[in-house]
């Protein structure tokens, strides 16, 4: 009960702070906007296809599934007219006797040669190579295709992951403010235990953090129309688990760094560095193997991996271990913070 009363008062205090208000209502919009700007994606290229090959899973279907092309089926004699009218950007004419071994006979026409032509030819050759090697073309390089399709969602989540840490840290920073203003000591002079005080801050942060990620998902899903590639509810669950780890981390950091200015500096640096290491801004596959191993100690890594698992066809059971790890991050940090948050002589 004590924690609920203190937590309610904390929520009221936090909402009066401009920086906390911005973290909750402004930065989710910024995260979504940056995700779209970073991976806004190009408009789909309109392909005019003549004499499309038959088959269970043809090269035309493969191109359509790459999410880069809109396919229009045309008569071979109409290709040139459509190109001149700019109704299609590239014309693809398949030979009547097309087989996988005759991709060189495919005629690709356009008014202006460019990068799209080379990409298209490369994908046709890639399809043929995969078929000739006996690979399951329907699932061929599926993870790469999915990753490219949903880069906006991943980038938005990555940006938000940094803002969640900053928000949780700034609001938990009220503990330092209370210590400086002797409110912390006054609370300890009442029948309130240290864990109840910290729990009150966690409750207040969790409530406002839920507001932050709820606003983020509403904006990204219904306003910005970001395609998640998975149920938004599962994305919501991932963000909640990450929020718990971020709040726990902030409590632990307050227990170590007692100076407010140093705390804010350390918090900002950690939020940025861990988001980079955890793959919040860009894939970490190309990083040094030692750095990739270090990334396993960042909550962002487990959050982003959970989302990638979802867009690759996973479900709540698939990401169960990741969610558990995120919760354990929060519990460990919280336990450490509670142990180190007892008032000392300087607080008297």
| Contact call for residues 215 and 177 (beta carbons, < 8 A) | no
pLDDT at 10 over 50: yes
Once rounded to an integer, what is the mean pLDDT over residues 303-317?
Answer: 87
Sign of the dihedral defined by the CA atoms of residues 107, 111, 112, 114, in that order: negative
Whether 238 and 337 map to the same domain: the answer is yes
Number of other CB atoms surrounding residue 21 within 10 Å:
13
Whether 160 and 104 map to the same domain: the answer is no
Indicate the number of domains in the chain. Answer: 2
Over pLDDT 90: what percentage of the chain? 15
Mean pLDDT, rounded, of the chain: 80
Whether 218 and 276 map to the same domain: the answer is yes
Q: How far apart are CA 142 and CA 145, in angstroms?
A: 5
Q: Encode pLDDT of 178-224 as tens digits.
A: 666 666 666 666 666 666 777 777 788 889 899 999 999 998 888 88
Provide the pLDDT for residue 243. 93
Q: What is the CATH number of the domain that holds 61?
A: 3.40.190.10
At residue 69, the 3 state secondary structure works out as strand
**Which domain, by its residues, includes 76?**
45-140
Whether 246 and 127 map to the same domain: the answer is no
Whether 51 and 88 map to the same domain: the answer is yes
Whether 252 and 117 map to the same domain: the answer is no
Sorting pLDDT into bands at 50, 70 and 90, what band is 319?
A: very high
pLDDT top residue among 130 and 332: 332
Once rounded to an integer, what is the mean pLDDT over residues 76-92?
Answer: 89
Q: Encode pLDDT of 249-283 as tens digits.
A: 888 887 777 777 788 888 889 988 998 888 877 77
Provide the pLDDT for residue 225. 82
Whether 265 and 207 map to the same domain: the answer is yes
Whether 83 and 219 map to the same domain: the answer is no
Whether 8 and 62 map to the same domain: the answer is no
Least confident of 12-26, 76-90, 323-337: 12-26
Provide the pLDDT for residue 339. 65
Provide the pLDDT for residue 187. 62
Sorting pLDDT into bands at 50, 70 and 90, what band is 143?
A: very low
Q: Which of 140, 159, 186 corresponds to the end of one domain? A: 140
Q: Within 13 Å, how many C-alpha atoms sit on residue 138's CB side?
A: 3
Q: Which of 98, 124, 140 corresponds to the end of one domain? A: 140
Provide the pLDDT for residue 342. 60
Q: How far apart are CA 139 and CA 197, in angstroms?
A: 52
Q: How far apart are CA 193 and CA 60, in angstroms?
A: 67
Sorting pLDDT into bands at 50, 70 and 90, what band is 174?
A: confident
- Do you know the residue count of the chain? 348
pLDDT at 41 over 70: no
Q: Encode pLDDT of 122-136 as tens digits.
A: 888 877 777 777 666
Q: How far apart are CA 332 and CA 344, in angstroms?
A: 23
- Residue spans of alpha helices (H) in the chain: 2-15, 18-25, 27-38, 59-65, 79-84, 115-132, 142-149, 151-172, 174-180, 183-188, 194-218, 232-256, 260-277, 289-295, 299-311, 320-340
Whether 81 and 133 map to the same domain: the answer is yes
pLDDT top residue among 121 and 114: 121
pLDDT at 344 over 70: no
Q: Which of 77, 106, 140 corresponds to the end of one domain? A: 140
Among 96, 68, 92, residue whose Cα is nearest residue 78: 92
Whether 21 and 77 map to the same domain: the answer is no
Whether 21 and 165 map to the same domain: the answer is yes
pLDDT at 303 over 70: yes
pLDDT at 244 over 60: yes
pLDDT top residue among 278 and 6: 278
Once rounded to an integer, what is the mean pLDDT over residues 72-84?
Answer: 89
Provide the pLDDT for residue 131. 75
Number of other CB atoms surrounding residue 23 within 10 Å:
23
């Amino acid at each position: 009960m004590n924690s609920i009363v203190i937590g309610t008062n904390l929520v009221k205090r936090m909402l009066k702070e401009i920086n906390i208000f911005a973290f909750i209502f402004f930065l989710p919009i910024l995260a979504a906007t940056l995700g779209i700007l970073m991976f806004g994606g190009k408009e789909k290229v309109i392909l005019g296809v003549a004499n499309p090959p038959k088959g269970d899973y043809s090269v035309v279907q493969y191109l359509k599934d790459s999410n880069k092309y809109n396919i229009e089926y045309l008569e071979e004699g109409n290709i040139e007219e459509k190109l001149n009218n700019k109704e299609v950007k590239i014309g693809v004419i398949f030979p009547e006797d097309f087989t996988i071994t005759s991709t060189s006979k495919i005629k690709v026409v356009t008014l202006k040669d460019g990068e799209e032509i080379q990409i298209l030819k490369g994908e046709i050759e890639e399809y043929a190579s995969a078929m000739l090697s006996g690979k399951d073309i329907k699932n061929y390089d599926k993870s790469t295709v999915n990753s490219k399709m949903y880069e906006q969602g991943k980038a938005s989540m990555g940006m938000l992951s940094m803002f969640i840490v900053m928000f949780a840290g700034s609001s938990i920073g009220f503990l330092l403010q209370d210590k400086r203003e002797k409110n912390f000591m006054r609370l300890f002079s009442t029948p309130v235990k240290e864990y109840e005080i910290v729990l009150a801050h966690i409750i207040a942060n969790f409530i406002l953090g839920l507001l932050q990620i709820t606003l983020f998902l509403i904006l990204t899903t219904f306003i910005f129309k970001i395609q998640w590639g998975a149920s938004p509810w599962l994305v919501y669950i991932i963000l909640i688990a990450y929020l718990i780890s971020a709040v726990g981390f902030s409590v632990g950091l307050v227990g170590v760094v007692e100076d407010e200015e140093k705390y804010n500096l350390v918090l900002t640096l950690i939020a940025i560095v861990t988001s980079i290491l955890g793959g919040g801004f860009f894939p970490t596959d190309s990083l040094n193997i030692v750095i990739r191993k270090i990334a396993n100690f960042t909550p962002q890594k487990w959050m982003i991996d959970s989302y990638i698992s979802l867009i690759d066809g996973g479900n709540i059971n698939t990401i169960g271990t990741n969610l558990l790890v995120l919760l354990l991050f929060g519990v460990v940090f919280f336990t450490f913070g509670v142990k180190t948050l007892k008032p000392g002589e300087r607080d008297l």
